[in-house]
Chains A and B, each alone.
Chain A
Amino acid sequence: MAAQGRHGGKKSNKMTALVVDDNTVNRMIHHRLLDNLGIENVAVVNGKEAVDIHCSGKTFDLILMDMDMPVMNGIEATRQLREMGIRSMIAGVSTRSMEREIREFIEAGLDDYQEKPLTMSKLISIIHKING
């Protein structure tokens, strides 16, 4: 779905993203930020849904991964996605600021980490890393 063109035909060249966050407010804002950049995006509410959507065969250029979520948190989800061979850019986004907590998240397989709130400039800096 994320990689299909608007009319369901050939693949679009549009970048695609997956928002993984249990918080409705954050999902709405992240979705809108991505929309404004022309990035097709899908949102799920926890790490397990993020893993499941990949198991269904979908892939994304970018995954915005929250850390603290019920069912499966961002650290475990990132670990599992990397073990599955997912090489997408995974950017951790969280309110956590303690080095120890962030390090564990990064070591699970993140390509980038941004402290919430996610802003347009932070998102653009993440996207530059995909393109760079």
Chain B
Amino acid sequence: MLGLAADRLRADMNRLLAFLFHQGILDEQFLQLQQLQDESSPNFVSEVVNIYFHESEKLLRSLRSLLMDREFSDYNKMGIHLNQFMGSSSSIGANRIRNVCVAFRAASEQNNRAGCLRALELLEHEYCFLKNKLHELFQIEQQRVLAAGVRYPMQNI
């Protein structure tokens, strides 16, 4: 029974991942990240992604704070934040977020404040969506590991 639960959870994970790849939310770099995880570092993906979330939220707050400032003119500073966000997003395979950053950076380089604001709104939306989906993925993975782990002691009886 528990073995079936683990299999069902694995199928749920694969369905969710397929959806995320199909929608272009994640790209193959996420698979590269998964391949770096092994027995010596079993939580590598979630550790990296959690740091990504922490850093991204700081960057998003900084970007919003810059753009909400009436006196804002420091597009250079915005560019620095965007490079950070682009770099880490591309490293974990957050494809759609990376693409929005590219558009955001283009608006920033043209000193286009309205364009930057639109891009920020989209970036915040994409980030929330990705965060929710990855949390869902990690929850399913945790449940799968528990379900698979409980099975083995019973087999040894």
Contact = CB atoms under 8 A, between A and B. Distances in A.
Is A bound to B? yes
A70 B84 CA distance: 11
A68 B44 contact: no
A23 B33 contact: no
Interface string B82-95: 01101110111100
Of A94, A117, A118, which is in contact with the most chain B CB atoms at under 10 Å from its CB? Answer: A117
B51 A25 contact: yes
Contact of A116 (B44, B48, B55, B87): B87
B71 to A, nearest CB: 23
Nearest to B33: A29
B29 A28 contact: no
Contact of A95 (B33, B35, B87): B87
Contacts of B48: 25, 28-29
Contact of A23 (B29, B35, B87, B93): B87
B80 interface: yes
B60 to A, nearest CB: 15
Interface string B74-104: 0000001001101110111100000000000
A95 B102 CA distance: 10
Given A23-B55, A25-B48, A116 B80 contact: no
Contacts of B90: 95, 116-117
Contacts of A70: 80
Interface string A42-64: 00000000000000000000000
Given A117-B90, A117-B91, A23 B84 contact: yes
Given A36-B36, A117-B91, A120-B32, A28 B83 contact: no
A53 to B, nearest CB: 22
A95 B88 CA distance: 10
B21 interface: no
Interface in B105-149: none
B47 A32 contact: no
Nearest to B52: A25
Interface of B: 29, 32-33, 35-36, 41, 44, 47-48, 51-52, 55, 80, 83-84, 86-88, 90-93
28 contacts: A23-B55, A23-B84, A23-B87, A23-B91, A24-B51, A25-B88, A28-B48, A29-B33, A29-B36, A29-B48, A32-B41, A33-B36, A36-B36, A66-B87, A68-B83, A68-B87, A95-B83, A95-B86, A95-B90, A116-B87, A116-B91, A117-B32, A117-B90, A117-B91, A117-B93, A118-B91, A119-B32, A120-B35
